[in-house]
């Protein structure tokens, strides 16, 4: 029986709601603390260049308040790296999304971006920050992830979620292969994107050595019906 993966709640959508009215309602720090109180084992944020979700100014406030694992995601441009190094999260997840991307939807090419990733990861690790890099379910990219010095990979699970209802066994195949390759290479395994109450338990069961899932959009959508406390408990149950 696999060990339960940890649940990190991405609070970007909470920040999006706050920003829509130009006030501090909902209070992002309070929501993060409530998520922890309700059982979340980590808090994830993804500050984008246009700050349409979490703002750069939110990060120091969250860093001081959060007591569980704090994970900052983003494309490692100079401004992002400066933010991460100044705030020292437990984990930094590197994502190759374009500035105008609606959402993260592709992983790194760890071979063509080898030199760039090697330099970025070395800088983060010298500051004591665990690094994870966003990968498509492609075992060929795992060797590159190891060579650039990453501690973990985060599997981009958008395609799994898209194909889950058609043929879940087929949808999971490449993820299992990639996870097995990552474990053999000594890399930790995280996952995230479009995981939800329907597809999460099967993913947890089939992916060996899964350490952490980062979920935001689905949790906030489900919380509209079930409430935030109940929703987090429901996701934890799927992971147990």
Task: Point out the catalytic residue in the list 68, 69, 73, 212.
Answer: 73
Tokens of 109: 């090419």
- Residue 193 annotated in active site: yes
Torsion angle of C-alpha atoms 176, 180, 182, 186, degrees rounded to 10:
150
The number of angstroms, rounded, from the C-alpha of 193 to the middle of its chain's C-alpha atoms is 8
Q: Which of 53, 154, 193, 212 is catalytic?
A: 193
Give φ, ψ of 152 to 5 degrees.
Answer: -140, 165
Q: Exposed, middle or buried by CB within 10 Å (0-12, 13-18, 19+), for 169?
A: exposed
Active site residue 73: yes
- Say which of 36, 46, 68, 212 is annotated catalytic: 46
**46 in catalytic set:** yes
Within 10 A of 26 (CB to CB), how many other CB atoms are there?
Answer: 16
- Taking residue 57's Cβ as centre, other Cβ atoms within 10 Å add up to 10
3-class DSSP assignment, residue 72? strand
User: Which residue is associated with the tokens 């999460």?
Assistant: 200
Backbone angles phi, psi at 88, to 5 degrees: 55, 60
Catalytic residue numbers read 46, 73, 193
């Amino acid at each position: 029986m696999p060990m339960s993966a940890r649940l990190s709640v991405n609070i970007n959508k909470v920040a999006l709601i706050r920003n829509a009215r130009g006030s501090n309602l909902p209070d992002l720090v309070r929501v993060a603390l409530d998520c922890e109180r309700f059982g979340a084992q980590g808090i994830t944020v993804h500050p984008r260049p246009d700050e349409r979700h979490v703002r750069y100014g939110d990060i120091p406030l969250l860093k001081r308040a959060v007591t569980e694992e704090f994970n900052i995601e983003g494309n490692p441009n100079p401004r992002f790296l400066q933010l991460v190094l100044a705030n020292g999260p437990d984990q930094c997840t590197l994502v190759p999304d374009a500035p105008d991307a609606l959402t993260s939807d592709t992983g790194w090419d760890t071979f063509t971006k080898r030199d760039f990733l090697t330099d970025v990861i070395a800088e983060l690790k010298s500051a004591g920050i665990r690094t994870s890099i966003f990968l498509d379910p492609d075992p060929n990219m795992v060797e590159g992830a190891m060579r650039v010095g990453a501690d973990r990979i985060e599997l981009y699970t958008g395609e799994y979620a898209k194909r889950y209802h058609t043929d879940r066994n087929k949808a999971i195949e490449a993820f299992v292969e990639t996870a097995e390759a990552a474990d053999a290479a000594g890399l930790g395994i995280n996952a995230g994107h479009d995981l939800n109450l329907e597809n999460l338990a099967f993913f947890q069961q089939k992916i060996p050595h899964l350490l952490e899932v980062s979920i935001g959009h689905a949790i906030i959508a489900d919380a509209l019906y079930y409430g935030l406390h109940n929703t987090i408990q429901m996701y934890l149950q799927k992971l147990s």
